[in-house]
Structure formats: structure tokens, C-alpha cells
Structure 1
Amino acid sequence: LTSTDRWHVPVNWVLSTDPNFNDTSPQGWIPPSFPAVAIDIPGLNQAEWYIVNKQQTGYYRVNYDVQNWAALASVLNSTHELIHVLNRAQIIDDAFNLARNGRVNYNYALEISRYLVREEDYIPWAAANAAFAYLDVVLTGSEVYHLFQRYVLELTAPLYSSLGFNNTANDEFVTAYHRTIVLSFNRRFGNEHCVETAQEMLESFRTTQVRLAADIQTTVYCSGLRG
């Protein structure tokens, strides 16, 4: 490839009036020679919200006006299942990365993230994990860091209760990754039950030498040895 290579960018969208995410074929194109192009979206004025890039079929980020960001936050916090899981992850990923670059106010990204307290799928949480990991670094030592930690603990509380250290042979492959995310936040952000359980499991491991599951090893070793 060379720096002169250009491509037509396919664009598709979904409206609140017809939330069908299955058809991901292009509904419009952005020509390679245009820095900006206007695309008419039929029915847009009648829609409460809209999403561009169904199922993240295009390799690009999407920014919205403040009204649509607020509308997306509203639908996610009320009926998030209405939006395809890949687009839930996309919205989280786009909102926080655009906020990181100053293109979106963090208020919208955080308001959107509130819905995660009811999110059970791994994919949106993988996007949130990257976003929160960045905020963990930049907020460390600040006067609001404890508020951020408490917020993430509140969001992960239902998953900590359901996943926790309760790995089984029937777990799906991604469940191990999901559990690792949840345990990592709860260990590092001071969930006492998480830390105490990890310390107890380490003591049991020292006694029995029964191998710990891979998805809980980091939490058990780090919490247990620190204690």
C-alpha cells in the first residue's frame, strides 16, 4: 500500500423507528476524494435516536450531535437489548475514545456507561475495560479517583455476584475473559469480599496444591500475597 491509496467507505445506519441491525449492506458511500459528504437518511427527523455503522461493519468511529448522544444514553439505560451487542460495544468504545480526544464531553460517555450495571455480555465490557483502564491511569492520585473506583465497583457488582470466583467446567470460552475483567477491577479498587476471598483461596492452594483456574490466578496471587 502507498499513501495515495484511497477507498470508498460504506455507510449504513439504523433508526429507532425500525431497529433492524441484521442487514449490514451499505446504504450510502463516502467517496475517497471528498473530505466531507452529506448523506440523506430517510425518516431521520421522525427517529428518537439513530446509530451509524451497524454491527461495526465499517472500520471507523462515529461521532454524533449532543442530542443523539443523550438519546443513545437514554435507550441504553432503559432497554439496552434493543441495540445489537456489537453496537453497544461500539457506542462505549466510540464515546470514550472521542471523549479522550476532546471531541465528546465525558459527561455523555459516563452517562452511557451507566447502563453497564445491567450488561451481561462480554463484548461491551471488553470495550469498557479499555476505557476504564485509561481513566484508572489518568485519575490516579486525583481528588476524584475514589469516586471513579466506587463507580466502577457499582457497575461491576452484579457481575461480581454472578461470576466472581465461581468458574465451572461448563463456562463458555469468553466467560473466563469476562471474569478476569470483573475480578481485576474489584481487586484493584478495594472490594473487601474479593480481596478476602482471594486470600483464603491462596491459603487453600498452599495447603492442597490444587491448581487454580487461569481466570482467577492473577486476582488470587496479587490479593493473597499482598495480604
Structure 2
Amino acid sequence: MFSFQNEVFFSNILHDILQQDNALVSRAVSMKMENFTETSEINDLFDLFTYNKGASMARMLSSFLNEKIFISALKSYLETFSYSNAEQDDLWRHFQMAIDDQSKILLPATVKSIMDSWTHQSGFPVITLDVSTGIMKQEPFYLGKVENQTLLTRNDTWIIPILWIKNGITQSLVWLDKSSKVFPEMQVSDSDSDWVILNLNMTGYYRVNYDRLGWKKLNQQLEKDPKAIPVIHRLQLVDDVFSLSKNKYIEIETALDLTKYLAEEDEIIVWHAVLVNLVTKDLISDVNHDIYTLLKKYLLKRLTSIWNIYSTIIRENVAALQDDYLALISLEKLFETACWLGLEDCLQLSRELFRNWMNHPENEIPYPIKTVILCYGIALGNDKEWDFLLSIYNNKTKEEERIQLAYAMSCSKDPWILNRYMEYAVTTSLFSFNETNIIEVVAASEVGRYIAKDFLINNWQAVIERYGTKLLVSLVYVIGRTIITDLQITELQQFCSHMLEEHQRLTVHAQLQTIKKDNLKSKERNARIAAWLRKNT
């Protein structure tokens, strides 16, 4: 159960904040009240950094104390300050009192000093361990390390608790309380079974990097016996390695090497982490058919086992999923990827579930995969399925359900159906809820992008009348999401210039330049992924 709690905490709390937090733009958890003058500024503090990062700080504190001391100190604090105000230092003081009352746990500094190093500065550290020498160093984590090289002179350090395992055995807690330190006990031998993982149960609020040998040892262990590495750490390795490669700390090839063992991976939460990081929007949008073919061959070879487990459950005992929280939050990406890769059983199951729902509307499509099934039911069908979905849409009153159906109707592969859809949007009141831009919804699909552009050329006044020029600007971004040259930007600007006001044209030009820059980076990354796949498929 404890391991399950770690994975749930990662999925619900830790993952999102680690994606957004970094040393440049994020704020510290603890802020001085005199810095705020407006009520709205104070209200803005009740955000991901307060709740998710704050929860992660508390969990880390509990990990290097122990649950008994943590609860005892927290209870003392709550009893002392019930019905009164308190400050952050009051909390640390009660933890310090609990520490002083025992002799088993020794800290390298006061609780206040340790926790202030985490709560009074923005971002978090990335720790790098050289397993050949045992040298460990810390540095602030940046989004795009190389791009921000001039900013890497920040001397911030954290007092970091390092809980770790070696060859599957939990080791004693150590502390990294300076920029670098040597831990001889963390060196590994030439033995294939010698490996180290830092950040036990992901209780520390940091990412972990290793030298080439460290990653190689972990790859060897995964390919030899992945179950020797606990699920939470297989999840951690995937999440850390892809984040580090995306932000230029390591090569993308290092991350891809870590996926070779996946045929033996039967934990859907780990698969979810792989697919979310590998099968990204920019990769799906890449017009290079070569990478799709290579990825299809590579992933389907490894995906069969996990697919068979959950497709069987969907067909035979879908109610069993209600007790599998990690499956509920992971299934959509698995089904979406399997169908996108053209796995015939996924496409067939989508047809089965959609048609069964058409014939017996009381038999709802399983909620975790409903968005995928609706989309592929429409993509694999014709106007009969589309008209059925429209009738369902007209009878729904909940906004969330109507939005889900509106997006599903854009999955059609038939140009005439998509054209009719957009005509309905601008000439009828069918899709007036929440001002969702149906033209933009259609343009977001690969088939619909070109159809939406042509529709806009012929109906731009009706579109502006229906949605306004503000939504027109966002539509231009969607249509131009794959641009990689200045010529493409010029053509798109010429296409929309008569539809926009002067200040909007300037905004669009700047944003399209940003899109181009990002796409060129993605194209370079995807080219390296394709080259790696050619060697390993």
C-alpha cells in the first residue's frame, strides 16, 4: 500500500509541479506579506506552488525525520496555535523541539535552516551523481539549461536529504549541504548487478541525473530484471530522464535507451509516463512519415503485453477498473497511442464499443477511455456515426460532456463532414455554448487543418461575426502550428492580414516566429529520435 501511495502522490501532486517549477520564472513557497498590497495578489498565492510544492516540502520533511516525529511535532504545533495565527518559523520551531527531544535522528543543521533553503528560494535542484567517483553535485534546475547558460552563475544551494538504494537495498540517509560532495559508498563496480538510485520513493523535491556509467548500469538492470527496481523508481527514472533530456542536461538518446526493456513492463503508470514523454503533440504533428513508421514498429513490439492486459479487462470485466486508480488515470494515453499507431485490436475495440453504445445508449462507454473511443468511432465511421453523436450532443446539458462531444465530432476523416460541421457552427445556434471555437477545434486535427483554412478563406466574415477577431488570432496559431520557415510565416500572414487589425497582425507575427523557433527545435529532436529508432528497431 505504501508504494501505491507514492505513485499516487507522484501522479496527483509531484508530476505537475515539477513540470512547471524552475529556477527562472517560478516563485518561492514562502513570501513576505509586506510585498503584497492588493487582495488579488494574495489570492494569486493560492496556486500550484502553495499547494503542490508545499505538500511536497512537507512530505520530504516527513521522510528525513520519521512519521512518528513528524506527526508528533505537527500535533504539537496545531494544538498550540489552534484558533490563533502562526508563521512559518513557528512550525519549524515545533519540529525542532521534537528533534531535540530524541537522539536517534541527527540533522546537519536546524530544521529552520534546512527548510528555509527550500521555501525561501524559487525552483529546485537537479542532483548529478558520478558513480565512478562518488562525486555528487547540485545545481538549480532550468528549463533549457544551455539556453540559460549565462544565468547559471546562481550560487543557490539547498540542504538536500538523500535517501537512496543500492542494488535494491535501502541505504543510510546522507546529506548534500554544499554544491558538491564525495560519497565513496555510492561508487559502483564493473558488475552488471551493481546500480544506484537516489531519491528513495521520490520523497525528495528534486530531479536526479547520473553520469554515463550510472545510466548504463540502470539500463542493464532494467533489461536483465526490471522488477528488481521498484515501480516508483521505474516511474522516477522515466520521468527524470525525459525531463533532463528535454531541458538539455543529457542527450535524448540516453532517455530512449531507458525504453528498451518496455516489453517486460506491466505497470500501466510507468507506460503512461513513457508515452506522455515520448508521444508528444509536436511529434504527432511532425509531417515526417518516417518517424511515425519507425515509432510504430518500435512501440507496438513492446506494447502488446500491457495492451492485452487492459483490452481484456475492458471487454470482460470493466467494473474491475473502479478499484485500480492508476489504471483509471493512465488508460486514456495507452488507448490513444495504440489507436494512433494503428494497432488493429485497438481500432476494432473502438468500433465495438462505439457501435454497442449506438445500439444501446444506456451502455455507456467506459469513462477512462471515452474520449478516445468517441474520436475513433467517428474517425472510423461515416455520417451515420457523426449524426448520432450530434443528436447525443443536442440532448446533453452538462458543458463538460458537450465539449467532449464537440471535439469528438472533429475527428472525422471526411472533408465534407468537417465542412458541414463548420457551417453548422457559424450558421446555427447548435454550438453556441461557452463560445468554443468549432473552426479551431476542426483545425486542431491533421485532416481538419487544411479544410479549416479553406473554410476560413471562403467564410472569414461569418467566422469573425460568430467568434470575433480575438478568437480568430488563436485560430491562426492552430493553423500555423507546424511552420518552420519564414516563407510559411509570410504566406500565413498574407492569408489572414485582411481579417486582423494592425496590433493583432504584430502579435501574430511575433507568436508565429516563436512557433517556428519551437518547431525547429522539435524537428531537430525528432530527427535524433528517428536516427536512434533506425538503429534500435
The interval holding the TM-score normalised by the smaller chain is: 0.7 to 0.9
Return the match for 2:343 from 183, 191, 201: 191
CA distance in 2: counterparts of 1:189 and 1:108, whole angstroms: 23
- Structure having the higher helix fraction is 2
Equivalent pair of 1:28/1:39 in contact (CA under 8 Å): no
Distance in 2, matches of 1:158 and 1:73, equals: 20
**1:126 and 1:183 mapped to 2: Cα distance?**
10
Asked whether the 8 Å contact 1:12–1:52 carries over to 2, the reply is: yes
1:219 aligns with 2:366: no
- Structure 2 residue aligned with 1:169: 319
Task: Trace 1:1-227 onto structure 2 (pairs within 5 A).
Answer: 1-2=30-31, 5=120, 7-16=158-167, 19-21=168-170, 27-31=173-177, 34=178, 36-42=179-185, 44-46=187-189, 48-134=194-280, 136-138=281-283, 140-142=286-288, 143-164=290-311, 165-166=314-315, 167-171=317-321, 172-209=324-361, 210-227=363-380
Rate the CA distance shift 1:29–1:160 in 2: closer, same or farther, 3 A: same
Q: Is the 8 A contact 2:188 2:196 kept in 1?
A: no
| Structure of higher RCO (CA pairs closer than 8 Å, 6+ residues apart) | 1
How far apart, in 2, do the equivalents of 1:43 and 1:205 lie?
56
Unaligned runs of 5+ in 1: none
Task: State how far apart, in whole Å, the 1-side matches of 2:188 and 2:307 are.
Answer: 41
Show CA shifts across 1:83-142 (max 9, x none).
1111111111111111112222222211211222211123322321321233x5236223
| Alpha-carbon offset, residue 43 of structure 1 | 5.9
Contact 2:222/2:261 (8 A) holds in 1: yes
Task: Report if aligned partners of 1:56, 1:87 keep a CA contact under 8 Å in 2.
Answer: yes
C-alpha offsets along residues 132-186 of structure 1, whole Å, 9 cap, x if unaligned? 233x523622332321233222222111111113352223232233332321111
Task: Provide the C-alpha distance between the structure 1 equivalents of 2:227 and 2:366, rounded to a whole number of angstroms.
Answer: 31
Q: For 2:161, what is the secondary structure of its paired residue?
A: strand
Q: Cα offset for 1:2?
A: 4.3
Radius of gyration: which is bigger? 2
Matched-pair contact (CA < 8 Å) for 1:73–1:108: no
Is contact 2:269-2:326 (8 Å) kept? no
Letter of the 1:8 partner, please give it.
I
- Whether the aligned pair in 2 keeps the contact of 1:183 and 1:216 (CA below 8 Å) is yes
Aligned length: 218
2:206 counterpart letter in structure 1: Y
* Aligned CA-pair RMSD: 2.3
Structure 2, unmatched stretches of 5+, are 1-29, 33-116, 122-157, 381-537
**CA offset at residue 45 of structure 1?**
4.0
Contact 2:238/2:258 (<8 A) preserved: yes
- The percentage of counterpart residues that share the same residue type is 23
Which TM-score applies when normalising by structure 1? Answer: 0.85
Once structures 1 and 2 are overlaid, which stretch shifts more, 189-198 or 71-80?
189-198
TM-score (norm 2): 0.38
